[in-house]
Structure 1
Amino acid sequence: MKSNRRNVIKTLGAASTGLALFGGANLVSACGPGKKEQSAEASSEEKAAALFFNISLAQWSLHKSFFGDGLSSWENFGKLWDEHPDKVLQGVLNPVDFPTIAKRDFGINAVEYVNVFYYSKKNDLQFWKDLRKQCDDQGVKSLMIMCDREGNLGDTDEAARTQAVENHYGWVDAAKILGCHSIRVNAAGNGTAEEVKTAAIDGLGRLTAYGQDNGINVIVENHGGYSSDGQWLSSVIEEVASDYCGTLPDFGNFCVEGGHGNCIREYDRYRGVKELMSFAKGVSAKSHDFDEEGNETHTDYERMMKIVKDAGFTGYVGVEYEGNVLSEVDGIKATKKLLERVGKA
């Protein structure tokens, strides 16, 4: 998913699950398995029982395989997107098959979707019912939809902010059909920290009210700009003051000034995650590179997961691989293996 997401509409120079692609500048019950599947599922559950958390897969981990040549350059991506969002989907994998891929190829039974892979399907209720059936048939749980390119919930222009709020309604509806607990949004906007904070509290508050009516949380990821300041974002969530509004702490999206590959100033990631864990309804385990011992070279996973555990979190930690050295498949497996090793320790 997502090193994060920075409004591809205006600038396509940053690259990561949402900031790079899509954020703002300032930002079930399954069908009964057969006997073989039952034993495999039990084995998976026994393994998870040794951890204090569960493991999920963020769809962005496979974005190169879904986009293919559609992401040959950011300029090309933007051109294709403007023609029709489905035109960027030129990869060897079909986003429709994501739940099956997660279970079959990685042994992961919970998934986190990214809306850009289904943008043309937002209001297609039958599509989401069919995807829900696939999940039920595979024994895969849908957790959230990560939403980008729908406007800035912290836009200081009231009309634009209202439009952004309403643009997210369709994703709340889709999440409800899938059985998700949340949609992930961006607290983005342009202006001073206080101006964007005031706007974000209003935008998030209104969207959260719609989410609550449908039993869906609205959660915010640290995704660049102001949102990557843990203190700023936690104060926004605190003032929204709703059990249906929370956070999705990401281990790697803490650039508060500058862009991907050119970060001028970065917020301390360990402090940031600690500040956001009080409101966390999920955790995003960002990974890029690994050393010979299998440790992530940018984030001390043992230190980070201790912060997660000390916060009393026992939910899902999503694998979100964004590296360029390992293949997407190997990167996902390496991240999952590291989470299992650190979790048991």
Structure 2
Amino acid sequence: MGSNRKEFLKQLGYLSAGSLLLPGMAKANSSNMGNDLFFDISLAQWSLHKELFAGKLTHLDFPATAKNDFGIDAVEYVNRFFADKVQDKSYLNEMNNRCRDLDVNQVLIMVDGEGGLAVLDDKKRNEAVKNHFKWVEAAEHLGCHSIRVNAYGEGTREETMDAAVDGLSWLSEFASDYGVGIIVENHGGYSSDGKWLAGVMEQVSMENCGTLPDFGTSNFTISEGNVYDRYKGVKEMMPYAKGVSAKSYAFNEDGYEKSIDYTRMLNIVKNAGFTGYIGVEYEGNELSEREGIMKTKNLLTMVGQEITK
């Protein structure tokens, strides 16, 4: 697609004379919730996926739950919970209205199920790119700074990197006209290799294309039995980070995560100069979702205050 991307988008009628700036990213540092932290705290919707799938919580009520039940005034959406409403402007307006009334920031949309942006087949990769266009448009409408995407693909390390660079470049070019970022999570396969993902970012070399480092164990599993060093990986991804995902599973009696050294992780994040949103993403089984969310928020606040002093 390379040199023909811009012309292709013009033919589709997607490009306009909009700004390439990303205002959503700039406003991400507006509040640290009064805790004197170097970062802000958001709540990843996936933390409540059991309640959402069970119908105990609706997508529209998620922002109120974040604010009223957990004291978190910024939310990160998961696309599957409003996939059938992504192009419904009245529904998106209702999301905006509720968040405005609550004074809640809509940070990003985590997009799954729209195809791998690093698949080797040109036709499938191009289709995956176009599948994401509607989510870029929704993100702009909601004031989200980015959509989180997946750099899935099967092939050699080099082949998949080339495909990822192509797919992400095209999508980022489209999104730049909307002031929306395209951020890649370490989410399996080569994307769980921090060096590989950093290499992709270096080649794409676009201001609105970045990473979403996730602390989780599975997020650094490249393949069965092949797990990348999480601390090394986060350090490699942080120069390109537009957000951070604070995955958690279980806690000791002092409130620290049992399997992830949060002090070490947050020092890596701080030393990279990051001051944006860190999303609470509880995925454990020892506690209820709500208990896990509060434990994770408290852990971020505790460690954040310790290393900010």
TM bucket, shorter chain? 0.7 to 0.9
CA contact (8 A) 2:33 2:40 kept: no
1:257 shift after superposition: 0.8
Matched, 1:340 2:298: no
Equivalence for 1:52: 38
Using the alignment, how far apart are the partners of 2:178 and 2:257 within structure 1? 38
Residue identity opposite 2:256 in structure 1: N
Using the alignment, how far apart are the partners of 1:153 and 1:267 within structure 2? 21
1:46 shift after superposition: 5.8
Q: How many residues align?
A: 277
Determine helix, strand or coil for the equivalent of 1:47. coil
Equivalence for 2:266: 305
Give the 5 Å matches for 1:143-182. 143-182=107-146
1:125 shift after superposition: 1.8
Using the alignment, how far apart are the partners of 2:204 and 2:90 within structure 1? 33
Using the alignment, how far apart are the partners of 1:179 and 1:54 within structure 2? 17
Equivalence for 2:161: 197
CA contact (8 A) 2:32 2:40 kept: no
Deviations 1:256-299 (A, max 9, x none): 112xxxxx121000000000000000000000001111110110
1:250 shift after superposition: 0.3
Equivalence for 1:138: 102
Match for 2:187 among 219, 223, 230? 223
TM-score, structure 2 as length reference? 0.88
Matched, 1:63 2:24: no
Using the alignment, how far apart are the partners of 2:193 and 2:292 within structure 1? 28
1:47 shift after superposition: 2.2
Equivalence for 1:76: none
Equivalence for 1:111: 75
Deviations 1:192-215 (A, max 9, x none): 111111111000000001110100
Match for 2:66 among 80, 92, 102? 102
1:344 shift after superposition: 0.4
Residue identity opposite 2:149 in structure 1: V
TM-score, structure 1 as length reference? 0.79
Match for 2:283 among 307, 322, 339? 322
1:96 shift after superposition: 1.4
Match for 2:212 among 241, 248, 270? 248
Distance verdict in 2 for CA 1:227–1:45, change over 3 Å = closer
Match for 1:236 among 193, 196, 200? 200
Residue identity opposite 1:122 in structure 2: V
Determine helix, strand or coil for the equivalent of 2:223. strand
- Taking only the aligned residue pairs, the percentage that are identical comes to 57
Using the alignment, how far apart are the partners of 2:93 and 2:294 within structure 1? 29
Match for 1:290 among 251, 264, 268? 251
Determine helix, strand or coil for the equivalent of 1:111. strand
Equivalence for 2:12: none
1:45 shift after superposition: 5.4
Using the alignment, how far apart are the partners of 2:64 and 2:136 within structure 1? 23
Equivalence for 1:21: none
Structure 1: 5+ residue stretches without partners = 1-27, 30-43, 69-90, 259-263
Structure 2: 5+ residue stretches without partners = 1-22, 25-30
